[in-house]
Structure 1
Amino acid sequence: MTKQQANWSPYDNNGGSCVAIAGADYCVIAADTRLSTGYNILTRDYSKICKLADKAVMASSGFQADVKALQKVLAARHLTYQHQHNKQMSCPAMAQLLSNTLYFKRFFPYYAFNVLGGLDNEGKGCVFTYDAVGSYERVGYSAQGSGSTLITPFLDNQLKSPSPLLLPAQDSATPLSEAEAIDLVKTVFASATERDIYTGDKLEIVILNADGIRREYLDLRKD
């Protein structure tokens, strides 16, 4: 057994950061590709983003073995849904399924902190943010993971999400254009990489809009 294996625990937090931003007709979901435990980098090219449906993508931080188990359960339940309804789930429906799945395991929860992004039935961008036991909320933007404490204040400053207490209720979608949102995501990750040792190596960005899904990549610091 190597020293790295001897120090490894199956419940170690594998670190990393995830961000999602919803716009009027798009959604941007991004995560770094570093997978680490403690001071050991296990791989520099690990995707934390999973496509759950054509209009729903999930990014997860935390213990990645639990994340994989969660993704497997969601894929099975989505397949059952498609057989029963002859269509794919919308993003809000997938958000409710994810909440139910996490809450069902609340007494021995998945060590996974998720953000779900996509397009709703009207074609608007939507982002849902979660805690470990399934409580969720639709928001304009969200960050999860070890770098979230650095990224969230930056997003608050730039996007100024409306208070849910405002009446009449304001649209949660951010006012940025798609290109501006992508540039903002790149900026917040470049900043977080400077301060968080668990975030780095490469940034994977998934963009959903009416044309479908596309991916972009950006190199980050590797130290």
Structure 2
Amino acid sequence: MDYSSSQAEQAPQTGTTIVAVSFDGGVVLGADSRVSTGNYVSNRASDKITCLADNVYMLRSGSAADTQAIADYVRHYAHMHSIEEDRDPRVKAVAKLVSQINYSNKNMLLGAMIVGGWDPERGGQIYGVPIGGTLVEQAWTTDGSGSTYIWGYLDAAYREGMSRQEAEELVKTALALAMSRDGSSGGLARLVTLTKAGAERKLINHDDIPAFWDELEVLKTNGTASSMVVV
């Protein structure tokens, strides 16, 4: 069945922000946690970072149902491949599988994804898999409705040879910038850092997400000035 233009117009509008940055020794993947259906926030604490293998993770944006289905299929095939080869799958092989499934069903699926991971053959790698099934290896990338606000920032701030801490701070700040501008992005920020040592998750609570000048409001209570973040 073709996904016609009329169906696309009737489909619920969704939004998110996903970011991936490579550094000297691995990659950092990050996402906000807000799931929206039009103007309605259906989930404030969703996990948009999905494990495909022990060494490969995927960031999901677009239709949650479509990207979850792709992740389930790819996770199954990657697990079978790991058993047959008696090793973790190569990052590029898993990314190609995501791309092939997306491309083969491009008339029915609506999902933009980023695949990142680490393997002993090529180290840390990031692959963008936008709507339609294209596969592009990149040093950094972003997608989702909030990405339109941070392309310029990432382009200016990213540099080769960054440390792990620098890469994590870059992803954290990029997510915060997108969340402060995009109404469909928000909630918490989740990070996954993949290196030779494995995958490490980090949850950034609302209070720890960077705030910017236009989010700060000075309140005067009993003659004392205090600041608060308005979201």
If the length of structure 1 is used for normalisation, what is the TM-score? Answer: 0.83
Which one of 171, 192, 205 corresponds to residue 206 of structure 1? Answer: 192
Partners of 2:53 and 2:79 within 8 A in 1: no
Partners of 1:34 and 1:201 within 8 A in 2: yes
Instruction: Give 1:152 deviation, angstroms.
Output: 1.4
Q: Note the alpha carbon deviations across 1:85-139, whole angstroms, 9 max, x for none.
A: 3333111111111111112112x24211001111133352211011222111111
Percentage identity across paired residues of the two chains:
28
Give the structure 2 partner of residue 23 of structure 1.
23
**Aligned pairs for 1:171-190 within 5 A:** 174-190=160-176
Q: Please say if 1:88 is aligned against 2:88.
A: yes
Q: Which has the larger radius of gyration?
A: 2
Instruction: Give 1:23 deviation, angstroms.
Output: 1.5
Give the structure 2 partner of residue 169 of structure 1.
none
Q: Note the alpha carbon deviations across 1:5-38, whole angstroms, 9 max, x for none.
A: xxxx983233111000111211100000111111
If the length of structure 2 is used for normalisation, what is the TM-score? Answer: 0.81
Q: Distance in 2 between matches of 1:84 and 1:203?
A: 36
Partners of 1:30 and 1:205 within 8 A in 2: yes
Instruction: Give 1:154 deviation, angstroms.
Output: 0.7
Task: Name the aligned partner's letter for residue 198 of structure 1.
Answer: S
Q: Distance in 2 between matches of 1:123 and 1:114?
A: 21
Aligned residues: 201
Q: Distance in 2 between matches of 1:211 and 1:88?
A: 13
Change over 3 Å in CA distance of 1:121–1:34 after alignment to 2: same
Partners of 1:31 and 1:203 within 8 A in 2: yes
Q: Note the alpha carbon deviations across 1:51-107, whole angstroms, 9 max, x for none.
A: 11121110010110111111111122223323433333111111111111112112x
Partners of 1:18 and 1:145 within 8 A in 2: yes
Give the structure 1 partner of residue 71 of structure 2.
71
Partners of 2:66 and 2:110 within 8 A in 1: yes
Q: Which runs of 5+ in 1 are unaligned?
A: 1-8, 161-173
Q: Distance in 2 between matches of 1:57 and 1:147?
A: 20
Secondary structure (helix, strand or coil) at the match of 2:11 reads: coil
Q: Please say if 1:39 is aligned against 2:25.
A: no
Change over 3 Å in CA distance of 1:146–1:200 after alignment to 2: same
Q: Which runs of 5+ in 2 are unaligned?
A: 1-8, 207-228
Give the structure 2 partner of residue 138 of structure 1.
137
Partners of 2:63 and 2:111 within 8 A in 1: yes
Give the structure 1 partner of residue 179 of structure 2.
193
Task: Name the aligned partner's letter for residue 100 of structure 1.
Answer: Q
